[in-house]
Structure 1
Amino acid sequence: MKEADVVAFLNFRRKFSKREWHELNRAVEAREMEKADKIELDDLDLEIILSKLNVLSEF
């Protein structure tokens, strides 16, 4: 991560109030949930998800 990118991000964040950020995050989350409902997983997806869950459970 570059310092200039962090500074640019922080300057961008200053453009919005705490309430605006909350509303923006809720809108993005709602859209992500809508899209997630449309995803169809196949056998390979299931295999990958299960292997990642197994790796996480080992810790």
Structure 2
Amino acid sequence: MAGNFIRVACSDCENEQTIFEKASSSVACAVCGTTLATPTGGKAAIEGETVETVEAR
């Protein structure tokens, strides 16, 4: 049940934010408020561009 942390770039403001790939709630950009990820029951649907995997478990 482990997941990875990934760095996602916002499509609107290019801010990079680290999020959990199995997020259970919506994740918004800390700068502009655009939705970066929405929960789907498993892995979250990532709306921004995935830059890198920060920590693989």
Q: Above 0.5 in TM-score?
A: no
TM-score by length of 2: 0.19
More strand by share: 2
Higher RCO structure, 1 or 2 (CA under 8 Å, sep 6+) = 2
In our comparison, the structure showing a higher alpha carbon Rg is 1
